[in-house]
Structure 1
Amino acid sequence: MKPIKLKFAGLQSYREEQEIDLLEVGALGIFGIFGPTGAGKSTILDAITLALYGNVERAPNGIRGIMNHFTDLLYVSFEFALGEKQYLVERSYKRNKREDTITNKVSRLIKVQEEKEILADKANEVTETIESLLGMKFRDFTRAVIIPQNKFDQFLKLTEKDRTEMLEKIFCLEEYGERLTEKVKKLEKDLESKYEGNKSRMAELGDASQETIQQVEEQLKDKRRIAAEKAKEGKQLEKQLKKLEIAAGIHQEMVDRQQEKEKLQQQRTEIEKQQQQLRLAKKAEGFEDTLEQLKKLKQEMQEKKTELKAEEKAEANIDEAIKEARVQLENSKEKQQLVNRLKEEELPKLPLAANYEKQIEELQGETKELTKEINEKKKKFVMLEKEHKENNKILENEKKAILELRKTKKRMNNILLCREEVENAIASLQRLEVEEKQEKDASHELQKKEKEQKKEEEALRILLKKYIHDTMLDTEKASLQQLVGYAEGIVKEVEEKQTIAEEMVTTAIEKNMAGELSSKLKEGEPCQVCGSTHHPKPAIAEEETEKDPLQRAKEKLQTIKKEAKEIRQWLQQVNIQYTTEKNIMKEIQSFYKDRWMKKVADLQKIKADFESALVLLQEKINQITANYKVTDRNTVKTLKEHLREAEEAYQKVTEEIESKEDAVKDLEKKIHGLKEECNHLETNVKISLENIEKNNKKAQQLKENIESLIGNTTVAVYEEQIKTRITELEKQIRTAEEIWESTNKRKQEIQQRLAILKSSIENSIKHLETMENHLKDRLANAGFSDIVQLENALIEKEKQEAMEEKINNYEKAWDFTLKSLETLEKKAEENPFDKGLFEGTKELNDKNSEEYERIVKEEGGLQKNLEDLKEKQKRWKELQEVNKQIGEKIDLVTTLFNLLKRKRFVKFLAEEHMRDMAVEASIKLGELTGQRYRLELDDKGNFIMRDDYSGGEGRLVTSLSGGETFLTSLALALALSSKIQLKGELLGFFFLDEGFGTLDNEKLELVMNTLEKLRKDQRMVGIISHVGELKNRMPRYMEVTAAQQNGAGSKVVVKHN
């Protein structure tokens, strides 16, 4: 995953939109985010998690209280890449009635390509799609990718179960966990289903044994034999029947020809009639043209008569139209007079009325501007009055605040008079610290003495061994003398402690001053040191909590003197023992070797007693010195801190008084200016109202003038009405003239057509009479009585041809039938027909055919049954073999399912990943700590840190200090980020929020060197911190400026080193 661009606005301290090009700022692999505490550095990470998951780690319920107080909208957009694909996720929120709650307004996830594709457009769908794309839920993302404040060590301290679940998602192990288990379950179910299905299919196959197949084969053999016999019998019958069918065919054909002859005989009369019609039609063919001309002439004459009637009717209609046109022409003269009056009287009024209207519009526009100006001035006046009142109120509050501050300043001045007493207490504390240092030095010296003592004891043991062989007593004597000298030194040291204790008595008296001061404090009254009226943790006076410090110190002094006396007495006893030992050594020299060897053993016992006594003495000395280390000096330190705070508060109050006095002057000046501006506005409004009144009166007079000219309407409307009326009248006049002219013209045209038609009809009548007389003469010569008989004799050419063809076909059929009957009669004599024999033979043949077909069908059924049985037997054996293989697979799947139960396989893979990461994290941790620490996993999967500077001793991570926890968590985060895959793509970045403040300079240097090496790994690492030294180490970084009191939000600026 590679972040590309982040935009957000209205989120926590950010009000305006911020746009961050993460590719630019993270181009060199590592970058920082710096700014003061509370500026909004971590909010940048919140913007990323809000865009991706709709959730902010630090907010209640994920989004409550995250919107900036000065806005009602929150928007966030995050663009990132997964491999070669780019995505853009956007979310926006609006504020609810409850100010600390918000509602999602828009959520969408877009796949960025040539054409943008919206993958999801609802809040839950966007989150689910993001989880699917990244393979991480919100909690996993904040543990391994973006690590917020106070969450850095969360992954380190997770339980084995939680860590396994997280690693399952981070390393995409779901397919090996529940998904793989579900697949195995489904596979097992499918295999069992197939197994049972095969068993059912085997049962459905029925009996397909070899015995059944043999029985069917015997039945099939019998059927084939019977079918062969029937086939042979059928051939003989078919041969006999074929001969009989020939005779039957001849007989039947004779019957058919005889019936055909009788049918033709019946058609003879009709044929002869058609022959007569055909002869007349041939004669009439010469008259067709004459008849056609005659018919055409009659038709034309009839059309002309019809046209004549229409023209006569049109002539009557046109006379009526001429009368009406004459009336309209007379009316148009009156309309022309009205047009002339409108042009001469009404049109000249329009320019004057238009001028009046223009003046009214100018006056109305001026009035409108004045009204608008008055409204704006009134609004400004109300705003100024409100501001005047608010400033007066602020002025009163500021004056009251100044009075209170002056009282506070006076009280604080009284408090600071106690400075000398506090400084004396501080000086006493400093002396006490010096004495403690001396005490520590003495303790170190004592430890040094102890080491020397151990060396001397070792030397003593060597001398004792040597003495056994040679001069043991002389060496022992020297050692004892040295030990006595050491004991005397201890006595002297105790006496010095006694002197220190006496000085501490005086110190305790001085120290009790803080308690004396605090005992005078009362709730609600100012402290004499810091001026505060609230006292949450006052120093407690010594007499209230324990004995008088002087008395206690004296008692301790007496104890030390007593213990010093006891030490001197003990030293005398040691000297006595030493003297005794000296005498014993002299005696040893006079005894045999075996006897003085016993004395040496006694001497060693005495030496052991001496060493025990010496240890006892050291413990007493430590106890005495420890009692004086418990001196409580927090009260004096608190007083010193309060004194410093009081001085700062006094300075702050003085500066605040000066600031507020300047503010009061500015407010008084501002109030005076507001008052003058209000008076000026009132005067301007009054003048504007007077001008409006004048304009209204002038406009009213102009309206009356317009009404006197054109009535209660506008110039434009009146002008339109007049011009429209003139246009309509002129159009009516032109129309009347055109109608008069066209009507007279049409009458002339009709009269001309009437004369032509009458002349043409007379000529047609004469021509028709001539043609009819000539036709009568020709009809008589051809044998026709009249034209009607001629017309009836006419037949169309196609119909004549059809009649001729029909007559010819009849003649041919008659000749063919007679000849066929003659030929068939000869054949019948040669092959006579016996109907009874034919029908009997045919019946036997049909019966034999039916039996043969039945036997063949039964044979086919047996053949099919045999084939089915063999196929079923083959299928049964195949299913049996398949079920055998399925059974073996079911056994394997059951074994695999048992191995996958309770996520055993996922736990194994997660543990392998975890051990792999632990090795890499251990290498990183070694680099960060100068090879001091190593990180391991124990048998239970818990993290163990090995300290190689302490012999490789193992420590639980819960026992680590803040700096050690941070370094260990960082090493683990680096290892985790190098292993994490988001849907198969390596994680390309992660963020660290805070944590660097717990490191010293040396460890900080090691951490930075390690992070800078990540550039080579092609990973982007973001660091959020307030540690200033880190800024100079960053090639590029973001500088965050805090929100301002005027409402301006935090801002982000990218900078380069």
Structure 2
Amino acid sequence: MKPIKLTMTAFGPYAKKQEIDFSKLENRKMFVISGKTGAGKTTIFDAISFAMYGKPSGDNRSAADMRSQFADPKQPTEVELLFELKGQSYFIRRAPQQQKPKARGDGMTSMSASAELYELKEDGSQLLLASNVRDTDEKMNELIGLEANQFRQILMIPQGDFQKLLTAGSQEKEKLLQKLFQTHFYKRVEDVLKEKSDALKKEAGKALEQQSLLLKGLPAFSSSMKDLLEQEDVDKRAVFGQMETDLTEMNSQQRECQNKGNELALKRDQLVAEKERGIAIHAQFDRLEAAKQEMDRVLKQEPIVREWQKQMDDAERAEKLLAYDLLEQQAVQAANKAEQRFKEADQQKKAAEQRNNQASERLLQEKEKQTVRDQAAAYLQQLEAMKASVLDYQSAREEAVRTKEKADQAEKRGKELAGQEKKLSEVLHQTNQQLQSVQTAKETFMEAAHHIEKSKGLIDLYREWQTVQQTILTHERITEEIKEQYKRKEQEAEEARQLGQKRRINWSRGHAAILAGQLQDGQPCSVCGSAHHPNPAASASDHVTDQMLEEAESRVNALNLESRKVEQKWVEAKSSLAHARENGDKLLMKLPIGFQMDQAMAELKEQEDRKSCAAEEIELKEKTEKTLLDLKGKKEILMQQIEQNQQREKIELAASFEASSVLKQLERAVPESMRDTSFFLAQWKQAKEEVQFLQHNYEQAASEAHAAHTALQSAASVWQERMEALEAAGQSKKAAADQFQQRIQEWGFASIDEYQSAKQHLEQLPLLKEKVTAFEQKKRDAAHLIKELQAALHGRSRVDVEELDQRIKGINEEWAALGDQAAALQSQINETIRIRNKVEEISIQMKKAEEAYRMAGHLYDITHGKNELKITFERYVLASFLEEILVAANIRLAAMTNGRFLLERLAERSKGNAQSGLDLLVFDQYTGTSRHVKTLSGGESFKAALALALGLAEVVQNYAGGVSLETMFVDEGFGTLDPESLDQAIETLMDIQADGRLVGVISHVPELKERIDARLEIHQSEEGSTAAFVFAGES
């Protein structure tokens, strides 16, 4: 960072606006700030520090205390700094929280702190980077790469702080070097190793606990296993040995159960086969009885079947006469149709004779009207000759009226346009006057918009902070709820584990009781082999089945899983709560000190009102200018319309005069009674229709007379034809009737009624045949089945199936008991094997976890400082950076002390638990020994501190960790040096100018002011201080 121009207003002893233009130094890289005590030398540093960080350069002063006591109360305190960083120019403006007179009334009001940061472009434009204190602080920290206290220790070393870096302890140096060299990553390595170590330790503990629970749940098949499991500390090796013995015995007993079960199954299958054969014989006897009953039902239907056979024979004979019956019916229908057609022809003939007589009489009447037709034609001819003149007269009269109206309209339009022109001129005059009265408001609008944006940013920030506070309350409530839920889940899981252990013990006892129930005196026990059973296991009242045991263990696993899930949610909830609190703190730090929401809302309302008023004025001006432009355009168009209307008025008057002349000529040619076109056309139309009507009636009468005569001749011819057809149909009808009667007698029917009765069964003939055939088939089938079953059952009797069922049931019960015993053994075998495999799997996992834990824990101890040097991993890295800094610092310290002193790092571990690794010693060539830097004298300490600061700046600049160290300010120390040491210190400072670094020194030492040709002199007066650069050779 390199300052270019510093501007202070009402800041410290500077009552008015004070500019310090560092660009006046030109190529000079060192200057002295001189003045009397209290004049304001250190205030220069305070102003630069305040502009960049919002804090003065010393810890004993606050930003609010920097308000000038000499300033006018209305003059606000403000600092502006134009500076260059990494080749880019920036401008920052800050104002501390302060009191100002109220805008209305007496008294003072509080003004919040403010800050703005701009990036200056090459084209002269400014880019706003931050507009409030919070954003400006964050952006400056990002740009500079140093916090305020680090800036003071490295670049701006005020009074009392010069030797802090030299004498600071390891922890203080660690914080500074962390920021400078960005070594937080190495600290993160320590944290990750700790998290990994803790997680592995917890994983191993959980695995050991799970292994113990599994072993406790082993089935106690033998008394030896029971004794081992009841011990407080289970001997895993002994349990595994007994487990193999128990598995061998359980497998042996299970095989014995399977052999007995196979023998019973074979015997049961034989009985089942015998039962199935008996059931088959029973079914055949039942079928024989059913077949005999079916034969009895069939024989009872024989009378009905004989009646069906008679109806079937009659229907077949009637079917032979159907063709003759149809011929006789067709002949009757033909005769009836011929009679009906003759009647129709007779009626048509009589109607034709009547129409012919009427048409002849009407034609005679129309011939007598010839004179009337001639008179109507003559009148129509007279009207046709007059028609053209009448139509011309009507057109001329309409044209005369139309041209007269258009001439009148043109005259009226001319008067209207003249009135509009007068009104428009008046409006133009008024609009010009209104435009002159509107003042420019754009500057007011922009200023108000800037303040509104600034106020809204603070208000939104405050509301966001309030929202975060509500979120914090919600997270606190949720975290507490999840914590209680976790406790409940842990309690439920513990209760379920106890229940599972209890059920496992009862389950084992229950299986022991089952085995004890199978013991017989004198027979060896399947478990221990003893033939004596003095104290067999008794069945417990709370017997536990395999399903109950499985349900209990499933519930334990489910609750353990739920508990882990709730625990994870609790951890996440606590993390969310911490994150929310951190966000709340960050937001609060970004708000100005003493921020008041009501005051901010009032200021926002005031600026919005200003902006609204300015916007209305701007809008009014724009509308007025547009209106004026529109009015001028309208007037121009109106003048064109007036000129056009004057030309039109002349043309319309000439046309009106010409139309009146033509009308007068036509009035002399048309009679007055016919001048009405509507009346004339109605007379002409009526005459024309009369002529057409008379002629049409005559022609129609002649046509109808001819048509009636033709129709009469046609009707007479049809009448004769149908008379002959009627006689022929009667003869055919009689012949068909005679032939049908003869055929009925031939086929054995006594009468037509008997034939008709037989004919009714024709539709049922297929069904009758089907019924008779089905009856005969059923009769044959029943007889055949009876004969077949009697032959198959000859010499046989029914089997007692119920007695066989009882014997099979007894064998099944015995076989099921063996199955239950085998299943119980298999369940114990499976559970034992499952637990054995799971324990072995966990053992492998435990071994891996323990090995990983030993490695991670060892690495964490080393990186956390539990080593011979008692130094953390991050501090070890920082120590290497410090070594580089000391190399650069010792070059300068040797030059300033004639090679007597060199700085070195204390590598030995500290006493007790104190962390070390960054403390400094000074090696004295005179004594050949090292001692603590705190033992140096005032002048020696100044040299060492100056050398260390310059070395630190050089190393940080070389690493370029985002930090630009182009400036250094020193505020004390030179007065403690003797002349030789002073020369050496000045030479050292001069050396760093080769890097282009600017060095400012506050000093009262005359020799220093003489050696450096640029001075910033501070002059003190009763009205406040002023500052100005003075260069060598100037008065």
Q: TM (normalized to structure 1)?
A: 0.35
Q: Say which structure is richer in helix.
A: 1
Q: TM (normalized to structure 2)?
A: 0.35
